Structure 1
Amino acid sequence: MSRRTDYYNDPDAPPATRIVPGAQVLITDQSGRVLLQRRADSGNWSAPGGVMDIGETLAETAVREVKEETGLDVEITGLLGLYTDPRHVIAYADGEVRQEFVVAFTGRPIGGQLEISDESTELRWVPITETDDLPMHQTARLRLQHLAEGRLTPHLG
Structure 2
Amino acid sequence: MTETLDITVGFRATMSRLATGVSVITTRSGDTPIGMTASAVSALSLDPLQLLVCIANHLYTRTAIAEHGRFAVNVLGEDSEALARNFAASKPDKFAGVETFDDHGVPVLKDAIAVIVCDVAEALPGGDHTIFVGDVRYCDHRTECRPLLHFAGGFGTLRAPH
Same fold (TM over 0.5): no
Place the TM-score, normalised by the shorter chain, in its bin. under 0.3
Which protein is bigger by CA-based radius of gyration? 2
Of Structure 1 and Structure 2, the greater strand share is in: 2
Taking CA–CA contacts closer than 8 Å with sequence separation of 6 or more, which of the two structures ends up with the larger relative contact order? 1
